[in-house]
């Protein structure tokens, strides 16, 4: 009983970080996954991670509540960075929807419960399946366990947050995510822009054509044909995106904790 009482503070801090991580990380944070499963998974991952956290004595005192907030914040930030790059596909899909004309028919995304563009939701589902096929969910679990080598329980995250380096990194991550979304949607967006130019020239040359009637099906056909041609490149595209995701998580851990412990 004494051993359990002594281990409880450290266990609770580990549980807070892992729970905060699974609340925001992609795939695991889906609304389709029951809350009981998330809590149970966090509990068992905490049991696994507890054995790797050594040499830190935690006591329940006046600063324990602050420690809980600190560990929860670390988990939320790691999950947010992962989810930010995972939603690049939805942002790219919204860019393509605006060009094709699907933006007027947004649907409810079952993963997040919010309105989502049609192509964005389609690519998000493909990305989720490829993420699971590439064992990305195992890499996420391994990453949160290994995070204690970078950021132990006795860390000084609040001091590192005060210097502005983490805030600057998050802002750069957001801009990088938008840049990746533009790159993923560029082939279709540029092609449909050229179609718009061609339709504009046609409207000047042959005013008798009703461009508003002809243009919509033309852009729809061209956009879907290009999408079919690009489907074969999705695995390599998503593999590079997931690589960027894990690199960003590692960079965040480096900012929060410095060099990993051996």
Give percent above pLDDT 70 in the chain.
88
How many CB atoms neighbour CB 50 within 10 A? Answer: 16
Here the tokens at position 180 are 């990746």
The DSSP symbol for 58 reads -
Give percent above pLDDT 90 in the chain.
3
In a domain, 98, yes or no: yes
In a domain, 202, yes or no: yes
User: Pairing between strand 107-108 and 115-116?
Assistant: antiparallel
Q: Which domain holds residue 81?
A: 77-257
pLDDT digits (tens, 9 = 90+) for 95-148: 888 777 766 666 555 555 566 667 777 888 888 888 888 888 888 888 888 888
In a domain, 28, yes or no: no
In a domain, 223, yes or no: yes
In a domain, 7, yes or no: no
Would you state the torsion angle of the CA atoms of residues 112, 113, 116, 118, taken in this order, to the nearest 10 degrees? 100
pLDDT digits (tens, 9 = 90+) for 28-82: 887 778 888 888 888 898 888 887 776 567 777 777 788 888 889 989 999 999 9
In a domain, 29, yes or no: no
CA 248 distance to own-chain centroid: 11
In a domain, 252, yes or no: yes
> Which H or E element spans position 115?
strand 115-116
In a domain, 251, yes or no: yes
pLDDT digits (tens, 9 = 90+) for 39-49: 888 889 888 88
pLDDT of res. 5: 67
How much is the pTM? Answer: 0.82
Structural domain total, the chain: 1
């Amino acid at each position: 009983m004494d051993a359990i009482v002594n281990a409880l503070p450290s266990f609770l801090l580990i549980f807070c970080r892992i729970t905060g991580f699974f609340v925001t990380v992609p795939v695991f944070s889906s609304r389709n996954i029951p809350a009981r499963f998330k809590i149970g998974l966090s509990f068992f991952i905490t049991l696994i991670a507890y054995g790797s956290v050594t040499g830190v004595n935690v006591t329940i005192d006046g600063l324990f509540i602050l420690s809980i907030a600190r560990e929860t914040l670390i988990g939320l930030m790691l999950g947010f960075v992962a989810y930010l790059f995972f939603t690049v596909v939805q942002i790219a899909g919204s860019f393509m929807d605006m060009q094709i004309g699907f933006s007027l028919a947004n649907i409810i995304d079952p993963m997040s419960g919010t309105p989502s563009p049609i192509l964005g939701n389609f690519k998000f589902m493909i990305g989720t399946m490829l993420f699971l096929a590439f064992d990305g969910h195992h890499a996420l679990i391994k990453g949160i366990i290994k995070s204690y080598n970078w950021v132990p329980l006795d860390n000084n995250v609040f001091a590192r947050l005060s210097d502005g380096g983490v805030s600057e990194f998050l802002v750069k991550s957001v801009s990088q995510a938008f840049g990746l979304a533009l790159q993923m949607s560029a082939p279709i967006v540029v092609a449909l822009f050229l179609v718009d130019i061609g339709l504009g020239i046609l409207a000047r040359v042959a005013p008798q054509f009703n461009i508003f009637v002809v243009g919509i099906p033309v852009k729809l056909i061209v956009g879907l044909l290009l999408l079919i041609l690009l489907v074969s490149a999705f695995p390599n595209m998503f593999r590079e995106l997931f690589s960027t995701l894990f690199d960003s998580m590692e960079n965040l851990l480096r900012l929060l904790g410095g060099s990993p412990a051996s």
